[in-house]
Structure 1
Amino acid sequence: MQLAFCLYKYFPFGGMQRDFLRIAQACQARGHAIRVYVLEWQGEVPPAFEVVHVPVRALFNHLRYRKYTDWVRADLARRPAGRVIGFNKMPGLDVYYAADPCFEDKAQTLRNPLYRLGGRYRHFAAYERAVFGADSRTEILMISAVQQPLFVHHYGTPERRFHLLPPGIAPDRRAPANAGEIRAAFRQEFGLGTDDLLLVQIGSGFKTKGLDRSLKALAALPEALRRRTRLMVIGQDDPKPFKLQAIALGLAEHVQFLKGRSDVPRFLLGADLLIHPAYNENTGTVLLEAIVAGLPVLTTAVCGYAHYITDADAGRVVPSPFEQGALDIRLAEMLSADDDRRRWQANGLAFAARADLYSLPERAADRILQPAADATAQR
């Protein structure tokens, strides 16, 4: 069967983009042809993928997305596909992979009411309704149960159209047999001494991921502990405002910014703690990547995958509503507690061995490739 995947932008270091690639490859491994419609593709194209660059431009992104949709619809009319799978919300999808939180809920609770008078709001609200509206036929692949009640509340989406997937952690994130050797080589490469402590924050979108909160918590550490602690920030985003914040907090020598990269597992093995105090996060795949690498985690309860930290007893979760002081205290406690970090590490590795944290691509492919007649019967 010819499958058509739709996403606005592919780059190798985005969580949703990595999920797309592994799901598409799982479908391809079952003998199906892969066509991908994008506005932008960064990185290598997998063998036998047909990547279609949609040639549309507009002054504003929401206008460009509308042109993208029209262009893709016209191309599909000429070259039909058996299933159309979207990783961004848009009309005309058979299956939608719900990587993003509920736009309508954010618009009503986090934005000024005047925002809902603008063209940008009208566009994204209409595109979300096209997927989640009660009369839509789109099947929805959920990667977190946290957002589902919000979609049901705003759109009355029938429960039968939601399909909750397990996580899909890549096998290369698991701690290998020689994890200790990798850790030692990593720390030597980056000049980390025996008593030095390394925090890592990993993920594109520094503002949403709460990097400002991390910097404040680092600055609030007791002086002796702060002198021993470094923070490495990895992700695709503009670091300038956060570099300025680090300088203002007296942390310039303690913080290092790195672009998205393919050797993230080395950082997970070489660090002492992952910090991820996100403002909002549908899932937070990096939390599970840390667990399976044996890296303790400090995160916020708003993350869809935060419950795994509690389930595994592999770190600490800052409750909602968020308070900076609570993050500051927990960070200081976790960095000071060597025995607790060793216990969290062991708990995470044990959890990684017994829990299904890996089968998302296969289960998503099952749903995507479900015969159309079966899917219709369930509606």
Structure 2
Amino acid sequence: MQLAFCIYKYFPFGGLQRDFLQIANACHAHGHKIRVYVMNWQGTKPSQMDIILVPKKGLSNHSRNEFYYHWVKAHLQANPVDCVVGFNKMPELDVYFAGDTCFAEKVSHKSFLYKLTKRCKHYLAFEDAVFNPQHHTQIMVLTKQQISDFEHFYHTPKNRFNLLPPGIAMDRKFNPESLIKRQQFRQANQIKADAFVMLQIGSDFKRKGVDRSLTAIAALPSELKQKVIYLVVGQDKPEAYQKLAKQLGIAHQVRFYSGRNDIPDFLFAADLLLHPARQEAAGMVLIEGLAAGVPVIVSGISGYAYHINDAKAGVVLTEPYSQLELNQVLQHAMTNNEQYQIWHENAIHYGNNADLYHLADRAADIILGCRPYE
């Protein structure tokens, strides 16, 4: 089969982008041809894929998205494929991978004037083109909450939804060498053995709640706060958050890293994973933290937060978000050693026994069984 994958932009360290590449590779491993339509590609281009760079035209994101869709549609008419797979919402997809939240749900909390904007109308129209009951796009989702939201706003038939398991790499899993890697990472990065390392991973620092984490660390009692090293890994501009850390008096304990490939080393070196996100459809890093044996503190808005509860390996914050609650939970995690050890052991057990590794295989099965869009 000839498959077409549509994604607006690719960079190596985005969660959606990693899922896309895993799934495309899984389809290729089954012997199928992969064509990718993308406006911007950062990093190495896989030789086994035909990467088509779509021109970027338009002054806004939504106008560029419109142009992308029409350009790709014309190219597909001239160069047909057996199945079109989208990782962003757009019309005429055979299969859609839902890596984000329901836009209609988000808009329901916005003002009437915002709903009149061209941007809002564009995103609603492209979402409707996927989820409208009259269409036949098969939809791959990461959480049950996504299904609930899309059904509520679009009345999409249940038989069009396919719930995928998580799909983290096996190198995230806690193993006999993890403690050695923990020691090596700390030595290489001049982190004391008795330091309490808090880790946050994810691009778009505002959406991930890095400011919330900084505020909670600064609120710790002095004797606890001085033990903390806070590591932030992700693709974003750190300057505003470095300035906030300085204002809070903890700049010397905060380190920012751009996206990178040695995430397992960061996980094994960490004592706690923080993820007080403002918006998060799933949050693959939460699963990675559990598999690595790292207790997790996460906002209840995150799609994969239920895994933390199922694993009994951390705390899911209540919604609506309370900064005071995060402050208190963080202090508790650092002072209740017995509870912390239980979380750590439960996380390792969950990583060994739950299906956290087969997203790409399941997605490939769905794609390879797709029928052309009607």
Match of 2:244 in 1: 245
Alignment of 1:200-215 (within 5 A): 200-215=199-214
Match of 1:66 in 2: 66
Match of 2:234 in 1: 235
Match of 1:18 in 2: 18
Match of 1:3 in 2: 3
Match of 1:275 in 2: 274
Give 1:47 shift.
2.7
Alignment of 1:339-358 (within 5 A): 339-358=338-357
Match of 1:179 in 2: 178
* Cα distance in structure 2, aligned partners of 1:343 and 1:191: 28
Alignment of 1:1-379 (within 5 A): 1-109=1-109, 111-370=110-369, 372=371
Which stretch has the larger CA shift, 175-184 or 96-105? Answer: 175-184
Give 1:314 shift.
1.1
* Cα distance in structure 2, aligned partners of 1:284 and 1:112: 28
Contact 2:140/2:163 (CA < 8 Å) preserved in 1? yes
The one-letter code of the counterpart of 1:262 is N
Give 1:245 shift.
1.3
**Pair 1:334–1:57, CA change in 2 (3 A):** same
> Structure 2: where are the runs of 5+ without partners?
none
* Cα distance in structure 2, aligned partners of 1:101 and 1:147: 6
Contact 2:183/2:269 (CA < 8 Å) preserved in 1? yes
Q: Deviations over 1:317-375 (max 9, x none)?
A: 111121110100000110223333222121111111111111110111111111528x9
Which stretch has the larger CA shift, 310-319 or 285-294? Answer: 310-319
Which stretch has the larger CA shift, 185-194 or 160-169? Answer: 185-194
Give 1:150 shift.
1.4
* Cα distance in structure 1, aligned partners of 2:177 and 2:145: 36
Q: How many residues align?
A: 374
The one-letter code of the counterpart of 2:41 is W
* Cα distance in structure 1, aligned partners of 2:215 and 2:124: 35
Q: CA RMSD in A?
A: 1.3
Q: Deviations over 1:80-119 (max 9, x none)?
A: 010000000001100000001011111111x222111111
The one-letter code of the counterpart of 2:214 is L
**Pair 1:182–1:350, CA change in 2 (3 A):** same
Q: What TM-score comes out, normalization by structure 2 length?
A: 0.98
* Cα distance in structure 2, aligned partners of 1:266 and 1:370: 37
Give 1:216 shift.
0.7
Contact 2:94/2:370 (CA < 8 Å) preserved in 1? no
Q: What TM-score comes out, normalization by structure 1 length?
A: 0.96
* Cα distance in structure 1, aligned partners of 2:168 and 2:333: 25
* Cα distance in structure 1, aligned partners of 2:87 and 2:201: 22
> Structure 1: where are the runs of 5+ without partners?
none
The one-letter code of the counterpart of 2:58 is A
* Cα distance in structure 1, aligned partners of 2:198 and 2:248: 17
The one-letter code of the counterpart of 1:122 is K
* Cα distance in structure 2, aligned partners of 1:256 and 1:57: 37
Q: Deviations over 1:24-55 (max 9, x none)?
A: 11100101000000000111122311000001
* Cα distance in structure 2, aligned partners of 1:74 and 1:371: 21
* Cα distance in structure 1, aligned partners of 2:335 and 2:266: 20
Contact 2:132/2:156 (CA < 8 Å) preserved in 1? yes
* Cα distance in structure 2, aligned partners of 1:85 and 1:176: 35
Contact 2:95/2:370 (CA < 8 Å) preserved in 1? no
* Cα distance in structure 1, aligned partners of 2:50 and 2:340: 46
SS at match of 2:35: strand
* Cα distance in structure 2, aligned partners of 1:64 and 1:12: 22
